[in-house]
Structure 1
Amino acid sequence: MSAASTSTQKLLDSPVLKSAIRKSSFRLMPMLVILYVVAFLDRTNVGFAEAALEVDRGITAGAYALGAGIFFIGYALFEIPSNLLLTKFGAKVWLARIAITWGIVSASFAFVQGETSFIILRFLLGVTEAGLFPGVIMFLAAWFPNKVRVKMFAIFYLAQPFSQMLGAPLSGWLLNIGEGMPGVEGWQVMFFVEGSLAVLAGIAAFVFLINSPQDAKFLESDEKKALLDVMALEDTVKEEAGPRGVFAAMKNGRVWYFTIIYFCLQIAVYGVTFYLPQQVAQLTGQKVGLAVGLLTAIPWFFGIFACFLIGRAANTIVRRRVWGTGLFLSTGLCIFGSAWAGANQQPVLGILFITLAVCSFLAIGPIAWSYPTAFLTGTAAAAGIGLINSLGNLGGFVAPILRTSVNEWAASDTGTMGVYALGVLPFLGAVMMFATKKFHTKADDLLPRK
């Protein structure tokens, strides 16, 4: 081993660096998780209002599918500009701005009058939330070395199951509470309260987030130096191995490769999430409310453990590829299984398959994001990560439309054929994830191999 390699390894394994990482994770991760908990809740709580909006505001299944999906059009259009503005204003200001503005739009759903206002607000929700997720990914890549990044991404991804585990009963409870209040509907109370939570989260983010390790007063001087040194080393490696600048990132083949992988993942995520309350209600024969909300929380409860434990287990070059491939296969098979269980009136098996699908696709995300953050830095990271997330998230636009279209084409009253259709693309994701063994950058040398 060369002297340079020995010095690098000593830096990566130093107790001072480990202490800096530990302190940074305790200081920053809770706020980031809270932000994404509220974001994912406001993005998906529309699933609890689907039936009520049809009855109260005449919003048809087709308009609902368009509104659910058009969020991602606004999201995609403004993702890269938002990321570039984050590099200008800093994460502290920009992430807080995103949360406050999307919270205002989310609360405005309480005043939906029909299909037009519903679709417009869903589009605006995407516009205002654009940049949150990739902004946090860039933020984490600036704070945490490659060797612990899958673990940090996994902690951040805990927000998704926490949001649904806590948010599903909360949304169901708010629906029930609102039905007993004079002059308002349950869904109006749900949207207003949960949108207001985002505004409060944005204010808290402005107080608690710190733009970079350089500004971290909670770190000792030697801890700050160790963290800055290793991040500077990784930036140097990225600049040598990856694209430089916005346009170079947008033309880079690896960026587009991981965009397709992320698209396959989001088809599964939102194909399940947008319709989960209705699917559970159909499986159990109950009305959407608190009871269905509690049952809907089951998959997300187990998803917390899957996301965290697999994130820890997959933090090497070989393991992340093997785990990623297997999890994509599991996602597709379990979505098929949930459709079969629904068609054959097997509620227990249906919830089991849904739970395994949720555990699988939740655990893929941290693994998938560890690849592009290993070779993108600076404005190339802002553009590349924004492109992957914005176009990949169009899977959330395609999923509800694909599901609805296939059901109409197949005249599937139970919705089974639409669910089967959603289970196909994760298999493509599995093939592409396995093929990442052909990719290798200098940044991978900073990771354990096995």
Structure 2
Amino acid sequence: MTPIEQSVPLAGAIPCTDLASTYRRIIWRLMPFLLIAFIINAIDRINISFAKLRMAEDIVLSDAAYGIGAGIFYFGYILFEVPSNLYMQRVGARATLTRIMVLWGAVTVATAFVTTANQLIAARFLLGMAEAGFFPGVILYLTYWFPAALRGRITAAFMMSGVIAGVICGPLAGVIMSHLHGWLGLHDWQVLFVLTGVPAIVLGIFGWFWLTDKPAQAAWLSPEQKQALAAVLATERDKSHGGFAQVLRDPRLYVAGLAYFCIYSGSITVSYWMPTLIRDFGLDDLTTIGTVATLPYLGALAGMYLLGRSSDRHLERRWHLGLTMLVSACSFALLGFTQGHAVLSITLMTLGAAAALSSMPLFWTIPPAFLNAASAAGGIAVISSLGHLAGVVSQTAVGAIKTATGNLYLAFDLIAAVLVLGALALLIGIPAHSLNERRNGR
């Protein structure tokens, strides 16, 4: 039996091998598009961290203003995240996801033409509004096509594409900004925004013709395949109970939101401030900075694989996640003691960032273990929104600390403390016995 055949549930008299063939067809139809979309999404979020190295002088951008610009993106994102996910249930995934992609690509291109710090802040707010609902929308979209037995690894694969974006973005930004300055009369950082924004628009238009809202509408599946999928997914829905209003009364929702806030504080601070931190290590060449910036993402890919494999084998999530967060916290806390030692600083930065990034897919195995199908759309969006508050708070705080003290290491001490808080909240606030995965003996 293949791994898919071992994982898929049976649907009446439908043979397991037939279901496995159906899921492989769905994977090859949908997942390449979604993976590429998330790579572009992540690049269009973090490209500003490299653009900052050159645009700061052109538009008189202070570290504090940059922190506000990085953070206000999440304010716009949070405002529209839950409404977008709820609205997606009415208008469909195809219309929602393609609209989001075209809008965020257009805003990214427009960011190339800002001339002041305030304009950049406004552009980042609009980018957050445009992107709102993409990540939770895809998480919800996957529940329309895959049963719980497959959804974990499918979600992990989707999230790993965001880390792959980190591997790509550094060298890509370095090449563009080093060699395309003056293209069409644009500065190097302007070219970066244009060339990373256009692919989102193109892929969004393509997605309108490629995506299908639900299996029943898929012309590329046979009637028998649609019937089998409907039977499997209906069985899961029949086992669900309660809705969005009920899940809002579940304290685990807010504990999970706090834990995600703390994890996101670590991972997003790395994404937005890593090029500046690397330059503080004494490296000035843009190509070198871009290359070094890939190391945490390469480490995260290895960490995601090893953590996912171990947590699946032991059927344990909380301690795997909590200890990974503590490794990240310790690495960031020790950074201040390595000032003047580039190799040690890069090693600790890589370990801390890789651990923080590795925590993300591991975290998202926990909410589905206490959310049911009826509450998944709203519950996932609420947790995601609470976590994305970190983008507003942490980036503004880091920018203010850097401007006031000139020392970015102090900001990473703060992030270390936040990660410790998140690990403790998770381990205390979400007991293992309260998770469906544990109760079901999976």
> Do they superpose with TM above 0.5?
yes
Q: Secondary structure at the match of 1:154?
A: helix
Q: Per-residue displacement from partner, 1:8-37 (whole Å, max 9, x unpaired)? A: 975599344333333322322211111111
Question: Aligned letter for 2:331?
Answer: C
Q: Indicate if the aligned counterparts of 1:102 and 1:128 stay in contact, CA closer than 8 A.
A: yes
Q: How does 1:35-434 map to 2 (within 5 A)?
A: 35-181=37-183, 183-239=185-241, 243-245=242-244, 247-287=245-285, 289-315=286-312, 318-341=315-338, 343=339, 345-377=340-372, 380-407=375-402, 411=405, 413-434=406-427
Hey, what's the Cα distance between the residues in 2 that align with 1:92 and 1:209? Answer: 6
- Give the unaligned 5+ runs of structure 1: 1-7
Q: Indicate if the aligned counterparts of 1:175 and 1:186 stay in contact, CA closer than 8 A.
A: yes
CA, structure 1 residues 405+59, in 2 after alignment: closer, same or farther (shift >3 Å)? closer
Q: Indicate if the aligned counterparts of 1:103 and 1:199 stay in contact, CA closer than 8 A.
A: yes
Q: Per-residue displacement from partner, 1:352-409 (whole Å, max 9, x unpaired)? A: 2222223322332222222323444566322221111112111111122222334456
Q: Indicate if the aligned counterparts of 1:76 and 1:394 stay in contact, CA closer than 8 A.
A: yes
Which segments of structure 1 move beyond 6 Å, counting only runs of 4 or more? none
Structure 1 position 203, deviation (Å): 1.8
Q: Secondary structure at the match of 2:291?
A: helix
Hey, what's the Cα distance between the residues in 2 that align with 1:262 and 1:113? Answer: 35
Structure 1 position 222, deviation (Å): 4.8
Hey, what's the Cα distance between the residues in 1 that align with 2:281 and 2:139? Answer: 36
CA, structure 1 residues 24+181, in 2 after alignment: closer, same or farther (shift >3 Å)? closer
- What fraction of aligned residue pairs are identical, expressed as a percent? 29
Greater shift in the superposed pair: 252-261 or 348-357: 348-357
CA, structure 1 residues 324+222, in 2 after alignment: closer, same or farther (shift >3 Å)? farther
TM-score for the superposition, normalised by structure 2: 0.90
Hey, what's the Cα distance between the residues in 2 that align with 1:376 and 1:33? Answer: 25
TM-score for the superposition, normalised by structure 1: 0.88
Hey, what's the Cα distance between the residues in 1 that align with 2:417 and 2:239? Answer: 37
Structure 1 position 266, deviation (Å): 0.8
Structure 1 position 46, deviation (Å): 0.7
CA, structure 1 residues 346+427, in 2 after alignment: closer, same or farther (shift >3 Å)? same
Greater shift in the superposed pair: 105-114 or 163-172: 163-172
Structure 1 position 218, deviation (Å): 4.1
Question: Aligned letter for 1:328?
Answer: M
Q: Secondary structure at the match of 2:185?
A: coil
- Give the unaligned 5+ runs of structure 2: 1-7
Hey, what's the Cα distance between the residues in 2 that align with 1:414 and 1:115? Answer: 22
Greater shift in the superposed pair: 329-338 or 422-431: 329-338
Hey, what's the Cα distance between the residues in 1 that align with 2:295 and 2:275? Answer: 12
Q: Per-residue displacement from partner, 1:239-283 (whole Å, max 9, x unpaired)? A: 2xxx413x3333432221211111011100111110111112222
Greater shift in the superposed pair: 222-231 or 391-400: 222-231
Q: Per-residue displacement from partner, 1:390-436 (whole Å, max 9, x unpaired)? A: 12111111122222334456x3x342111111111111222233343
Hey, what's the Cα distance between the residues in 1 that align with 2:57 and 2:289? Answer: 19
Greater shift in the superposed pair: 438-447 or 109-118: 438-447
Q: Indicate if the aligned counterparts of 1:105 and 1:124 stay in contact, CA closer than 8 A.
A: yes
Greater shift in the superposed pair: 429-438 or 69-78: 429-438
Hey, what's the Cα distance between the residues in 1 that align with 2:164 and 2:321? Answer: 22
Equivalent of 2:20, from 12, 18, 21? 18
Q: Indicate if the aligned counterparts of 1:38 and 1:197 stay in contact, CA closer than 8 A.
A: yes
Q: Per-residue displacement from partner, 1:115-171 (whole Å, max 9, x unpaired)? A: 211111110000000000000111122322223322112101112221111111111
Show the counterpart of 2:3. Answer: none
Structure 1 position 221, deviation (Å): 4.8
Question: Aligned letter for 2:431?
Answer: K
How large is the RMSD of aligned CA atoms in angstroms?
A: 2.5
Q: Indicate if the aligned counterparts of 1:106 and 1:192 stay in contact, CA closer than 8 A.
A: yes
Q: How many residues align?
A: 432
Greater shift in the superposed pair: 202-211 or 291-300: 202-211
Hey, what's the Cα distance between the residues in 1 that align with 2:191 and 2:417? Answer: 37
Q: Indicate if the aligned counterparts of 1:150 and 1:312 stay in contact, CA closer than 8 A.
A: no
Q: Indicate if the aligned counterparts of 2:307 and 2:362 stay in contact, CA closer than 8 A.
A: no
Question: Aligned letter for 1:417?
Answer: L
Show the counterpart of 1:3. Answer: none
Q: Indicate if the aligned counterparts of 2:38 and 2:161 stay in contact, CA closer than 8 A.
A: yes
Structure 1 position 185, deviation (Å): 0.7
Question: Aligned letter for 2:97?
Answer: L
Hey, what's the Cα distance between the residues in 2 that align with 1:115 and 1:297? Answer: 28
Q: Indicate if the aligned counterparts of 2:401 and 2:411 stay in contact, CA closer than 8 A.
A: yes
Hey, what's the Cα distance between the residues in 1 that align with 2:434 and 2:212? Answer: 32
Show the counterpart of 1:5. Answer: none
Structure 1 position 180, deviation (Å): 4.2
Greater shift in the superposed pair: 353-362 or 312-321: 312-321
Hey, what's the Cα distance between the residues in 1 that align with 2:403 and 2:293? Answer: 26
